[in-house]
Amino acid sequence: MNDQFNTRQTLLMRAKDPNDDLAWDEFFGYYSGFINMLLHKIRIPQEVHEDLQQEILLKIWKALQDYEDDPAKAKFRTWLAAVIRNAALAYMRT
């Protein structure tokens, strides 16, 4: 993936707190480009990116508290890409 999307560990730790609105604003600002890039690569129509991005962020918000950073298993971006891909596939099935 592009180096501009390197995982920021401190942001990731802060974003795990569902009450840290500032961290979520920063998380969205940092990863929205990554989400859109993957949606484009999966060939999701541009006109649904915004709605699908909101669904993806909700899924991330719910799952992030249980996410354990273990580079031996997978990088955060790999986990994030799987969440994005699964949400896009669910969208395409509907």
Q: What is the CATH number of domain 20-93?
A: 1.10.1740.10
For residue 92, pLDDT beyond 60? yes
Query: In the predicted model, is pLDDT for residue 3 greater than 50?
Result: no
10: nearest Cα among 26, 28, 34, 33: 26
Q: How far is CA 25 from the centre of its chain?
A: 13
Scan for tokens 């995982």, then name that residue: 7
**What does the pLDDT look like over 34-58, one tens digit per residue?**
999 999 999 999 999 999 999 998 8
Those residues with Cβ within 8 angstroms of residue 76's Cβ, 6 or more apart along the chain or in another chain: 7, 12, 67, 69
What are the boundaries of each domain within the chain?
20-93
The pTM score is 0.78
When the pLDDT of each residue in the chain is averaged and rounded to a whole number, the result is 86
